[in-house]
Amino acid sequence: MTANMPINQIGLEKNYYRGAISTLCKGCGHNSVANQIMLACFEHNIPPEKIVKFSGIGCSSKSINYFLNRSFGFNGLHGRMPSLALGALFADTTLKGLGVSGDGDTASIGMGQFKHLVRRNIPMVYIVENNGVYGLTKGQFSATSEKDLKIKRQGVNPYLPIDICMEALAAYGTFVARSFAGDPQQVKSLVKAALSHDGIAVIDIISPCVSFHNLENSIHSYTWGKDHESPLHELTFVPPREEITVEDFEKGGMREVVMHDGSMIVLKKLGTDYDPTDRSSAFCMLAEAEKKNWLVTGLIYVDPKSPSLIHNFDLPETPLNRLSSDRIRPAPETLDLINKSLL
Amino acid sequence: MTNLLMENFIPAKRQSIINDFAITLSTINGSGSATANMTLVRALFLMGIPVSAKNIFPSNIQGLPTWFTIRCSSSGFLGRVEMDDIVVTMNPAMFQDELKQVISGGVILYADDLKKPEGRDDVILYPMPVKKIVQETDISQQLKGYIANMVYVGVLAELLSIDLNMIFQALEYHFNNNQKAINSNFQVIQSAAMWTKANLEKKDPYSVVPMNNNVNKIMTNGNTAAALGSIYGGVQFVSWYPITPASSIPEEMNIYLPKLRKDPLTGKETYVVVQAEDELSAIGMVTGAGWAGLRSMTATSGPGLSLMSEYLGLAYFAEVPLVIWDVQRVGPSTGLPTRTSQGDLSSAQYISHGDTEFILLLPGNMEECFEFGWRSFDIAERLQTPVIVLSDLDLGMNHWISEPFKYPEKPIDRGKILWEKDLDEWLLSKKHEWGRFMDVDGDGITYRTVPGNLHPKAAYFMRGTGHNEYGGYSEDPQEWEKLLARLKQKFITAKSLGLLPDPQIEVNQNAEIGLILWGSTELAIKEARAILMAQGVNTDSCRVRSLPLDDSIGDFLNKHRRNYIVELNRDGQLHQLLKIRFPETTTQLVSLAHVDGLPVTAKWIMRELRIAEEKIL
C-alpha cells in the first residue's frame, strides 16, 4: 500500500481505480471526465470488478480505457454500444454498466440504439461526452453541432442540433442530467448519483474538443461554457447510510431525492426551485434554455422508483453466466414427453 | 441415359392408386384454411401413412391465394412434386390456373358456387356444395366463414377413405381439447362426408389405407426443432427481430422455455429473451451476452443477416461465441420473402469486411435442426467464434415426418473459460500472467474470463482494434499477422477435434455419378436416386453438413467422373466453393442450380441431369 494514498470505505486505494494513460489531446474535456468517473467510483466505494465499461467508436469511446483498469471493458462498434451492453449485463445482474459515448456515436449513427436503450431502462450509466464535432476523423460536423457553425474545410452547418437530454426524456429516460467538463465537481456528483440509480442514467456532458472545436463563439467550447453555464442547483450526493450534514445548505433551500439504494441527492436551490421529478417541467426547462441560449446543467429529471428492465425477468440469484450445465439443460425425460406431443 | 424423365414416382397402374398422390388445397390466406389443411395432414399421419405438407403462401395477411400441398407416398418419397393428382379449389381467382396443375386423369374438387372449370376433359370434376353444407349446420353465423374449409376435409375424407376417427383426433390436438371448437368443426366435416357418400359417384382411382410407417415418429417443422434443440443446448440469451421465415424460432422458444427451463434448484428462469428494435441491435445484444459468458443466439433470414454483418465481423475478431440461425428465403434484397432458397451460403461463409470466416452448419432434416440447435453452442464456445446455422423456409416452416429428437449424447462443453479458482491455478502452475489472447495450448484457442469474475487479474479490455496477447492496443505489423493467423488456426483445430458434422455419404456399386447436396434438398435427391437406380443408373451422394469443407468431400469428388451439385440458388454457390477448395476436381463438377422460390423436385433434378449427361456423352 502506497503511503498517504487515500483509501475508501471498502479498503481500496485510489490507484486501484486508475486506467491506462490517455492518448487523447492535452486539454481534452474527455480526460477531465475520465478523471471524475474514476474519482466518483472510488468515492462511491464500488469495487471496479463490479463495473463493466462499454463504448462505441470515437475519441470519447477510447476514454473508457483511461479509468478502471480492473473492470472488464468492451470498446465495440460505432453507435452500437447500447445493444452490446444490454446483452452483457444480463450475464450477471449484480454488475453495473458504465458506458461512455460521444455526440456522433450517440446522436448520429447510434440514435436508434440509444433511444431504445433508454426506453428499456437498463441499469447503467450512459455518459455522452458531447463536443459537437467529429474529432477522430479530424473535424466534421456532428448531430449536436449548432446551426450556422463554421468549421474549417466544412463550411457552415445547415442543420439544427439534436439535444441529447431532450431525446433521453422523450424516450422515457429515468435519470437525465447535463453537465460541463469544466465543472468537475458537478460531473463527479452526477456520476455518483447515476451509479446509485437502478435504471438508465444519461449524463450529457459538454466536453470541448481543443483541437477541432473550441471556438469562443461555440456552445461546445470552454469559454462559452464558462460564460453561459447556468446550474439548476448545487448538487450533493449522499451515499446510503450516511447522515446528511446540512451545514452547507440553507434551511428551506434544499430539495432531496431518495434513490433506490437509499442514497440521496441533495439539490440546493439556485434562484428558482426546479423540481427534477417532474417530467413535463423538464421538457419546458430544456425548451426555455434553448431559446435563451443557456447551458443549463444539473439533474434535469429523475424517477427513482421506475423498475429497471432486469426486474421484468425472474432470474436466479446465481448469475446466469455461473449456472452449471445441469441447471441449463432440461432432463432427458422431458424430451420424451415433447416427442410424444409433436404432431 | 435415356428415358430418365418421368412423372411423379407412382405405380404405373392407374385403376387403383393407394397412398401415392399429391393434393393441393388452393385457398385464400386468412380464411382459416391452415386448420383444415393440417387436420388432413395429421389424420394421414395418424393413419401411419408417410406424408409431407408444404405451404406456398404470399407475403400478405388476408386475401391473396395460398396453396398447401399434401403428398402421400407409400415408399416415403416426400419431396415436392410439380403436378398434382388432386386439386381442391376454394378460390375463384385462381380456378383457371389450378386447372393447369392437375395431371391427366386427376381430380378437381371445387366449391359449386364457382363457375364450372372448362378446358380439361381429361380430369374428373367434383362440385362441392360448400355454402349449403355450412348453412345447414347448427353453428353460429359468426363462425361459419371460418369453418367453410372443413367442407373439403369431409369430402376428401369420404372420397379417399381417410379415417374420421383420425380426423377427430387431429381436431382434438389442434384445438387442445376445446370441445366446442372440436365439435363444431367435426360437425361440418361429418355433414360433408355424408353428403359426399350420398351424392358423389367416385370416378377417381385415389384412396388411402392405413400403414404402420409412423410408429414412434413425430411430425414437426425445422423452426420448432431448432428452438427445442437450442433449449436443450442450454441457450441463455435470445434476442431477435421479427422476420419471415425465422420468427417462429424465438416464438416457439417463448412457448417452450417457461416449461423446460425453470432452474431445478430455485424454480427461477434460466434464460432471457429480448425482442430487439432491429437486427443490428439483436446481434449486438447477442454479442454482448456471448462475450459475458452466456449461451446466446438469434434467428433471422437473409435481410437480417446482411444487417448483422458488421457485428459478426466484430464477434469473429473479438472471439465471441454466439449462434445465428439463418432461415433462408429468396434474395437478393427483399426478394421473395415467403419462398425458399439456399442463397446465403457464399455470403454467410465470409460475411463482413476484412479476412473473416465462419463456421456454417447445414441441417438437412428435422433431427439435424434439433441436433445443430444444441451442438452449435458447444462448437461456438469451444472455438470462441460465431456459428451460423443455415436452414431454409422449406425446412423451417413446412411439416415433416421425423424420427423423435435425440437427447444430446455429449455433456455441455463450455470451452476454455476461467473462473476465480482457475485463474489462481493458472498463476500457480504456469508461472506467468494470464493474457486473454495468449495461445498456451498451441491450438489457436485462448482462455477467456467473463465479466463477473472477481479475481483481481481477471479483467481485460476487449476491442475491435489490433491487440496484443493481453488485449492491449497494438498496431505492430507482426502482432497483427500473428493474431490473424491464430484466428485461422482455430478452424484447423475445429477439424482436428472433429467438432464439425461430417458429410453424409451414401454409395452404390460402380457409381460414376456423384450427387452433392446440402440442406433441404435431401428428400428430392433420394427420390431421384431411387428412380435412376430403378433405371439402372447408380449414383452416390454426398450431403455437405458443415463448412469449412471437409477433406473427405474432395475424396468423394475425385472418385466420381461427374459430380452434380444440386442447390437452390442461381450461381451454384456450393459449386463455386468446391472449385476453390478442391481445384483439381473442377472438370468433374457440374452445377445443377436453380431458384424459383419453390423446393426442388426429383423431376427437376432428373431432367437437368439428363440434359447435362446428354451434352457430355
Q: Residues B85-104: pLDDT tens digits?
A: 999 998 888 888 888 899 99
Q: How far is B167 from chain A (nearest CA, A)?
A: 13
The answer to whether the CB atoms of B285 and A94 lie below 8 A apart is no
Contacts of B4 (CB under 8 A, 6+ apart): B531, B532, B535, B537, B606, B607, B609, B610
Pick the range with the lowest mean pLDDT from A93-97, A193-197, A268-272: A268-272
Do B441 and B559 belong together in one domain? Answer: no
In the stretch 343-372 of chain B, residues with CB closer than 8 A to chain A read none
Residue at B414 is within a domain? no
Q: What is the pLDDT of residues B444-501, one digit of tens each?
A: 999 999 999 999 999 999 999 999 999 999 999 999 999 999 999 999 999 999 999 9
pLDDT at B232: 98
The answer to whether the CB atoms of B407 and A335 lie below 8 A apart is yes
Q: How far is B434 from chain A (nearest CA, A)?
A: 14
CA quadruple B352, B550, B504, B445: dihedral positive or negative? negative
CA distances from B120 to B65, B94, B156 (A): 22, 15, 21
Grid cell at residue A116: 431504445
CATH number for the domain harbouring residue A162:
3.40.50.970
Q: For residue A245, name the pLDDT band (cuts at 50, 70, 90).
A: low
pLDDT at A248: 52
The answer to whether the CB atoms of A330 and B232 lie below 8 A apart is yes
Residue A320 has its nearest CB partner, among B46, B291, B294, at: B294
Mutant choice from B317, B461, B467 vs A, greatest count of A C-beta within 10 A: B461
Q: Does residue B296 belong to the interface with chain A, where contact is any CB pair within 8 Å? A: yes
Q: Which residue has the higher pLDDT, A255 or B305?
A: B305
Q: Cell match 463527479: residue?
A: A188
Number of domains in chain B: 4
Asked whether the beta carbons of B164 and B193 are under 8 A apart, the reply is yes
CATH number for the domain harbouring residue B310:
3.40.50.970
Residue at A335 is within a domain? no
Do B386 and B483 belong together in one domain? Answer: no
Q: Does residue B287 belong to the interface with chain A, where contact is any CB pair within 8 Å? A: yes
Residue at B407 is within a domain? no
Q: For residue B12, name the pLDDT band (cuts at 50, 70, 90).
A: very low
Q: Does residue B220 belong to the interface with chain A, where contact is any CB pair within 8 Å? A: yes
**Which range of residues forms the domain containing residue A175?**
14-312
Residue at B431 is within a domain? yes
Pick the range with the lowest mean pLDDT from A59-73, B113-127, B567-581: B113-127
**Which range of residues forms the domain containing residue B575?**
504-616
The answer to whether the CB atoms of A87 and B284 lie below 8 A apart is yes
Q: Using alpha carbons only, give the angle B361, B364, B368 rounded to the nearest 5 degrees.
A: 70
DSSP A322: G
How far, in Å, CA of B70 to CA of B54, rounded? 7
pLDDT at B1: 37
The answer to whether the CB atoms of B268 and A316 lie below 8 A apart is yes
Chain A hits for B281, Cβ within 8 Å: 80, 82-83, 112-113, 116
pLDDT at A251: 53
> Other C-beta atoms within 10 Å of A78: how many?
18
Q: Does residue B332 belong to the interface with chain A, where contact is any CB pair within 8 Å? A: no
Number of domains in chain A: 1
Q: pLDDT exceeding 70 applies to what percent of chain B? A: 98
Residue at B12 is within a domain? no
Do B202 and B318 belong together in one domain? Answer: no
Q: How far is B86 from chain A (nearest CA, A)?
A: 24
CA nearest to A340 within chain B: B218
Asked whether the beta carbons of A294 and A282 are under 8 A apart, the reply is no
The neighbouring-strand residues paired with B26 are: B67, B89
The answer to whether the CB atoms of A113 and B284 lie below 8 A apart is yes
Q: Does residue B549 belong to the interface with chain A, where contact is any CB pair within 8 Å? A: no
Pick the range with the lowest mean pLDDT from A25-34, A85-94, A172-181, B337-346: A25-34
Q: Is residue B238 within a helix (H) or strand (E), and if so which, with residue range? A: strand B237-240
Grid cell at residue B39: 387436420
A1 pLDDT above the threshold of 70: no
Q: Does residue B311 belong to the interface with chain A, where contact is any CB pair within 8 Å? A: yes
Q: For residue A153, name the pLDDT band (cuts at 50, 70, 90).
A: confident
The answer to whether the CB atoms of B260 and A334 lie below 8 A apart is yes
Q: Does residue B277 belong to the interface with chain A, where contact is any CB pair within 8 Å? A: yes
B443 pLDDT above the threshold of 60: yes
Q: Does residue B289 belong to the interface with chain A, where contact is any CB pair within 8 Å? A: yes
CATH number for the domain harbouring residue B554:
3.40.50.920
pLDDT at A262: 86
Q: Does residue B278 belong to the interface with chain A, where contact is any CB pair within 8 Å? A: yes
Residue at B413 is within a domain? no
Contacts of B143 (CB under 8 A, 6+ apart): B184
The neighbouring-strand residues paired with A206 are: A130, A180
Q: How far is A164 from chain B (nearest CA, A)?
A: 19
Do B262 and B377 belong together in one domain? Answer: yes
pLDDT at A152: 82
Do B227 and B153 belong together in one domain? Answer: no
Closest CA to B8 of B215, B210, B206: B206
β-pairing, A295-302 vs A175-180, is antiparallel
Q: For residue A217, name the pLDDT band (cuts at 50, 70, 90).
A: confident
Contacts of B188 (CB under 8 A, 6+ apart): B133, B134, B137, B139, B147, B150, B151, B154
Residue at B215 is within a domain? no
Q: How far is B288 from chain A (nearest CA, A)?
A: 4
Q: Which residue has the higher pLDDT, B605 or B92?
A: B605
Closest CA to A235 of A188, A196, A195: A188
Residue B228 has its nearest CB partner, among A69, A321, A338, at: A338
Do B49 and B196 belong together in one domain? Answer: yes
Residue A70 has its nearest CB partner, among B281, B414, B459, at: B459
pLDDT at B7: 45
Do B131 and B49 belong together in one domain? Answer: yes
> Other C-beta atoms within 10 Å of A119: how many?
16
Terminal-to-terminal C-alpha distance of chain A:
68
Q: How far is A270 from chain B (nearest CA, A)?
A: 41
**How confident is the model over B347-363, as a mean pLDDT?**
97
Chain B hits for A50, Cβ within 8 Å: 454
- Number of CB pairs, chain A paired with chain B, less than 8 A apart: 208
Do B439 and B386 belong together in one domain? Answer: no
Residue at A324 is within a domain? no
pLDDT at B2: 38
Do B269 and B377 belong together in one domain? Answer: yes
CA distances from A176 to A199, A328, B407 (A): 11, 38, 50
β-pairing, B51-56 vs B65-73, is antiparallel
Contacts of A271 (CB under 8 A, 6+ apart): none
Residue at A342 is within a domain? no
Chain B hits for A327, Cβ within 8 Å: 263-265, 270
Runs of H (alpha helix) within A121-172: 164-170
Q: Which residue has the higher pLDDT, B9 or B414?
A: B414
Residue A77 has its nearest CB partner, among B296, B310, B404, at: B310
Mutant choice from A23, A74, A120, A311 vs B, greatest count of B C-beta within 10 A: A74
CA nearest to B231 within chain A: A329
Give the pTM. 0.96
A138 pLDDT above the threshold of 90: no
Q: Does residue B536 belong to the interface with chain A, where contact is any CB pair within 8 Å? A: no
Residue at B369 is within a domain? yes
pLDDT at B14: 58
The neighbouring-strand residues paired with A220 are: none
Say whether A17 sits in a helix, a strand or coil: helix
CA distances from B284 to A60, A89, A286, B241, B581 (A): 20, 12, 32, 12, 32
Q: pLDDT exceeding 90 applies to what percent of chain A? A: 68
Contacts of B304 (CB under 8 A, 6+ apart): B241, B243, B246, B279, B282, B326
Mutant choice from B44, B167, B275, B291 vs A, greatest count of A C-beta within 10 A: B291
CATH number for the domain harbouring residue B46:
3.40.920.10
Chain A hits for B419, Cβ within 8 Å: 322
How far, in Å, CA of A130 to CA of A206, rounded? 5
In the stretch 465-524 of chain B, residues with CB closer than 8 A to chain A read 465, 473
Do B240 and B385 belong together in one domain? Answer: yes
Residue at B412 is within a domain? no
How far, in Å, CA of B99 to CA of A325, rounded? 57
How far, in Å, CA of A153 to CA of A141, rounded? 11
Angle between helices B33-46 and B164-174 (to 10 degrees): 120
Q: Is the peptide bond before A319 cis (omega within 30 degrees of 0)?
A: no
The answer to whether the CB atoms of A87 and B290 lie below 8 A apart is yes
Chain B hits for A338, Cβ within 8 Å: 228, 256, 405
The answer to whether the CB atoms of B451 and A84 lie below 8 A apart is no
DSSP letters, B27-77, are: EETTSSHHHHHHHHHHHHHHTT--EEEEEE--SSSSSSEEEEEEEEETT--
Q: pLDDT exceeding 90 applies to what percent of chain B? A: 87
Residue B459 has its nearest CB partner, among A49, A325, A327, at: A49
Average pLDDT, chain B: 94
The neighbouring-strand residues paired with B22 are: B71
Residue A319 has its nearest CB partner, among B233, B449, B452, at: B452
How far, in Å, CA of B6 to CA of B604, rounded? 10
A131: left (phi over 0), alpha (psi -120 to 50) or beta: alpha
Chain B hits for A90, Cβ within 8 Å: 237, 272, 289, 292, 294
The answer to whether the CB atoms of B272 and A320 lie below 8 A apart is yes
Chain B hits for A74, Cβ within 8 Å: 288, 291, 318, 461-463
How far, in Å, CA of A205 to CA of A165, rounded? 10
The answer to whether the CB atoms of B266 and A317 lie below 8 A apart is yes
**How confident is the model over A56-85, as a mean pLDDT?**
96
Do B397 and B254 belong together in one domain? Answer: yes
Residue A36 φ/ψ, nearest 5 degrees: -70, -35
Q: What is the pLDDT of residues A11-34, one digit of tens each?
A: 999 999 999 999 998 888 899 999
The answer to whether the CB atoms of A95 and B451 lie below 8 A apart is yes
Do B312 and B434 belong together in one domain? Answer: no
CA nearest to B224 within chain A: A342
The answer to whether the CB atoms of A74 and B407 lie below 8 A apart is no
How far, in Å, CA of B511 to CA of B540, rounded? 6
B183 pLDDT above the threshold of 90: yes
A295 pLDDT above the threshold of 60: yes
ipTM (interface predicted TM): 0.95
Contacts of B251 (CB under 8 A, 6+ apart): none
